[in-house]
Amino acid sequence: MNRPHHQSAWSWWYLLFVIQYVFVLWPPLYNRVEPSLGGIPFFYWYQLLWVIIGAILTAIVYFATEAKHTSAGS
């Protein structure tokens, strides 16, 4: 395979993405009303919370792979 090596580099940091897949793609985990938060049922605020957690995980992966990339590439 004639791939640009710096593009296809695998990083173990990518495994962090798996976490959010598990927690949002298994509805029995959160398909309930209690505990509600400020009048919002669990089902709803749990998903919104995972938007934020997912963003944080993505940021971690981004900065981790970015640092690795620049140190290895330059």
Specify the length of the chain in residues.
74
Longest dimension (CA), the chain: 56
**Whose Cβ is closer to another protein: residue 35's or residue 52's?**
52
Rule CB under 8 A: choose which of 1, 2, 27, 71 binds another protein: 27
Binding of another protein by 58 (CB under 8 A): yes
Binding of another protein by 64 (CB under 8 A): no
Q: Phi/psi at 24 (nearest 5 deg)?
A: -100, -20
The H or E element that residue 49 is part of is helix 42-73
Quote the Cα angle for 26-32-34, to 5°.
Answer: 135
**What residue ranges bind another protein (CB under 8 A)?**
4, 7-8, 14, 17, 20-21, 24-28, 31-33, 36, 38-41, 43-44, 47-48, 50-52, 54-55, 58-59, 61-62, 66, 69-70, 73-74
